[in-house]
Each structure stands twice: as structure tokens, then as C-alpha cells.
Structure 1
């Protein structure tokens, strides 16, 4: 099968198209014919060598983990899915290939495109996991820093669906987009805390930082306690009393099913900024690394 691979860490130019044997699903897993692959910041960070020798992978490797496609093989003990079903989920051993084995998956709504579905697994899991840590409840006010990125867009829609009032930071060009999602937008940067207090004089209950950029120091001044702030990107957050989630506390894959249901009800959408063919994966990585993306970047097969 055709697959994307790299044999050394470095810039996007290390990515190559190669031929590899088709993977086979073990017990409790399924295989899909991949139609689209989600691109996450984690993918290019691993490829760049940013995590060094601590990355639990071995070179050469097939990158990416998010994928959507058609089930074409089913491992022992798997129930509730059949050959030919359209699903999205998370791959074992890389998803940027013509076939991928999934360890977590959910049915793709019929109206959802493969590109949309491929962009969902990790961003919705991350949002759901963060909300579990924050104990987000109906009626609370949530502040999301970085509301127009992939995790941010997933988070604000999940929070609105769960009955929270949401304020989201973004550049002004994304404010109308956020309003369309039921979010009160605010410009990020210096003076953020004062702008948020003006919008929410009764205060912020919890805050999620998806963007980093040193915002945690201000976010903790807005919530009842610093522990009411969770970051997915700023690993210095504990210095301010906030928390960081990286998945080691457990995962929230059930959020994929929640989002699929919300999509079918017309209450969730994930914009696809751009779809690249697999052969242009380097350009996809470069665009993701630029940080100037609303929604998701995908690879289309």
C-alpha cells in the first residue's frame, strides 16, 4: 500500500511516499480503507524532533493518527461494526496510508464528509477530556483561549451544547465566525483579563487554554481558583497553579460519539481549512505549523 513515512526527524522535507505491507487488525481492532487523514500540531511537532527521544515511536514511522474511511477488515471480538461501514477514529501505527488499523472509532454520520470526520478524533477527545478535568456544568461560564483552532472550535461547540455560556479568544477576523457558534468573542493578547471582566462581570467559572502564548498567567486571575484553568499546550501552567492535560490522566474517546450525535442534530460542525493530497503532506505540515488556520487541515486519499 502507499503510505507517508519519514526515517529521520527534521523539517517537512523528510516526508516521503513509500510502499508498505497492508496492516492487519488484531483482536478488538478494525482496519479501514483510509479516505482522509487529520493533521494535528502534534504530528509536525513529533516529525520535527521537538519531543526528542521521549517520543514513544521508532523510526521509520508512518505519521498521523486521526482518520476516516471504510471498514474493510475486522479483528477478533469486535462487535457493532460491519465491512463497508463508514467510520472515523484513531489509528495504531499511523494513519497516513491507504489502510490503517483503528483502536478507537465511531460511526460517521451519513451527511458528514470524510474530510470533516478525519479532523475530529483528537480535537474532540481533547476538549472532552479537559471538560472532565474542569467539571464543566450547565449554566457555568467558560473561557476558551484559542477558540478558532481545531480544539477550540470543538470545545466551544461542546460547551454550548452542554448548556454553558462561552467566551472565546480569537483574532478579530474570526469574531463573526465564533458568534455564529453561539460564542461571545474577545481579542486575545495583553489586557485580556480586563476585556473578559467587561464581558462577564459575574466572573468566569472555568477556563481552557488551547493556544498557550503565555495566557495562563492572566487566565488564573479570572477563575475562582488557579486549578479552574486547564491548558493543553502550556506545560508551565502548574507554575501558576493551573493544570495541564496531555492524555496521561486518561482519555475521553466517548466524546467522538457525542459529537457524531450533535452533528446529526445540526449542532456541531468542524470547518476544513484545506485538504491536501497525500503527496503534498509537507505543505499540509507547513500550513499547520504556521498557526494561521481556522478549523482543520486534512490529507485526502
Structure 2
């Protein structure tokens, strides 16, 4: 691990990112170019102290999960990401593994979508990034603990922290789609250890998943309607479209509503309120 060079690369990458690129307001009193260390820590789910020590060349060797989170927040392209991995003493992600980095061009596209909630998922259902509207609508899913930022894990093993509300008729198709999507991912990435670990955890921890897994069905994400139980705006039924990013096998999920509907009015209000709660808990 080349701590000094890693520190230099991380600081330079942080300085290149304008706050507006990641949904933050710069403000008139900002004294640093790019992002603050506190903002990098918040966006990557790390402690401020750890980010400081990384940039000072005093941190222990970061894990693969930490490197993946940092390179995503710093919007590094594949070459930049691989450089950070090597400087940290880790092998860059291999071909044939599920891609966990989001291309800078996709991040720019996501950030420009200020009117609609959108998020990007990996091939195995990890929540990689959300725009501010998605945080306002469904909550900040990237705040889930590391290793649990996965829609399939949350569906079968989570504690019901999601705002997505399924009717009795929707539960079984949603579960079948989740299992089928993981089977599709396994057929494409049979050597990915994190995918294998996720599937093993689901089989061991969820009898429902285990039963569905044995059926052998394969499927992919499809556009549909989603019901969101929002704490301020109540039950919202939204169109939910899946846009495929074929070169990385990632999916962009976009929520929308027809003009003139109650749901469209709620989305208009969320653009103003953001994640701020309008009612007391």
C-alpha cells in the first residue's frame, strides 16, 4: 500500500468535484475547492476521521467495500478506480465480476434528473447511488449498513425499512422477480464471490427465498407500477421504469407520475421540501 500516493490521489479527486455535482449546495462561505472531507465521509458511509487519516497517509489498508464506496463518490472512471485500488494494495475488480462502480457520465445524467426520483442498481440488486429526489421519495437507501444496501437482501431478510408497499397480490410476483434476477446474475457472474455470498445468506436465512430458488426461474427487472407509503404524502402509486445500462449490467430505476395527478403534485412538493419532514414523527 502506497499511503502517500493514495492520499495525494484521493485529495486531488475530491478537489475536482463541485458540490452541485452530488446534490449539495456550495454556499457563499465555502473555502475549499471541491468537496469537504465531511461530505465525502457522508456520501460514502465512512467516518470523517477515517477519511482524514486516508488523506494524511495514516489509515490502515482499506477494504474492498471502502475502496468501492470512495471511488464511486469521487466519480472516478475505470482507470482512476483501478489506480486507487492498486495504490491501496488491492487488486482492481476483475472482469467477470458484478460492476459496482457507476460511470461518471451516468452520475451526471442522474444528477441532471432533478424532476424525477431515480437510482442505479447493480446486477445483483445493490443500491449504488440515488439522486436527491429518490432520497425524498423512498428515503436514503445508501444509509443502510455496508453489505445490506441490497434490495433483495432487504426484501427477504430486512426489517421492513423500505417505503415500498406491496399488496397481497404483488408480493409473490415481486419475490419471484427478485429470485429470478439473482439467478440471471449468477448465470452471468458465476465467479463473483460477493454474489455467491449474498445468495448463500438468503438461502440460509429465508425459507421463502430457498423455496423460490429451487424452482429455477430466471427473469429480469421490468417496468411496472410501485406503491410508495410516504410519511408525509401518504400512499402514492407511481410509474416505475427500468432503464438498462448494458455495458455494466446496471439498471436505472425512474419513478414518475402523469401530469395533473395527486402523485405528480406530491413529486412537485418534494422538489421543494427534499428529505425534510413536514410532519412530526
TM above 0.5, one fold? no
Greater percentage in strand: 1
TM bracket (short chain): under 0.3
Query: Which has the higher relative contact order, 1 or 2, with Cα contacts under 8 A spaced 6 or more apart?
Result: 1
TM-score (structure 1 length as normaliser): 0.26
